[in-house]
Amino acid sequence: GESVGLHLPTLSVQEGDNSIINCAYSNSASDYFIWYKQESGKGPQFIIDIRSNMDKRQGQRVTVLLNKTVKHLSLQIAATQPGDSAVYFCAESPAGYALNFGKGTSLLVTP
């Protein structure tokens, strides 16, 4: 069935390096994609979003890339910091405003 999935369950990067978290989606009708960050013991926190009519969107230290041809979404974090350690979820909105979340990627930033 339609689903949102993540390529890697865990990612370890060194402090200061750039991080790239990938996500594959299968619902070509999705109009909206969003990345959330979840720290231990907390609820998901919005990071950045992108609509299907865009290829790239930049925020503060984060960039989201959307490749509709291969149904791929990525989150790039520049100069990764220890505070970036968390689980990152991609989500899509196939219909209405409810979100369909992927399984999550755990990002570990090492000194």
Partner 1 sequence: DSGVTQTPKHLITATGQRVTLRCSPRSGDLSVYWYQQSLDQGLQFLIQYYNGEERAKGNILERFSAQQFPDLHSELNLSSLELGDSALYFCASSVEGSYEQYFGPGTRLTVT
Are β-strands 56-58 and 62-67 bridged in parallel, bridged antiparallel, or unpaired? Answer: antiparallel
Does residue 1 belong to the site contacting partner 1 (CB under 8 A)?
no
**Binding track, positions 45-84, relative to partner 1; x by CB under 8 A:** xx--x-----------------------------------
Nearest to 27 by CA among 75, 74, 68, 76: 68
Residue type, 64: V
CB of 59 to partner 1, least distance (A): 13
Does residue 101 belong to the site contacting partner 1 (CB under 8 A)?
yes
CB hemisphere CA count around 33 (13 angstroms):
34
Residue type, 83: G
Does residue 35 belong to the site contacting partner 1 (CB under 8 A)?
no
Does residue 22 belong to the site contacting partner 1 (CB under 8 A)?
no
Does residue 30 belong to the site contacting partner 1 (CB under 8 A)?
no
Cα 77 to Cα 102: distance, rounded to the nearest angstrom = 19
Query: Residues in the site for partner 1, rule: CB under 8 A?
Result: 32, 34, 36, 41-46, 49, 89, 91, 93, 95-104
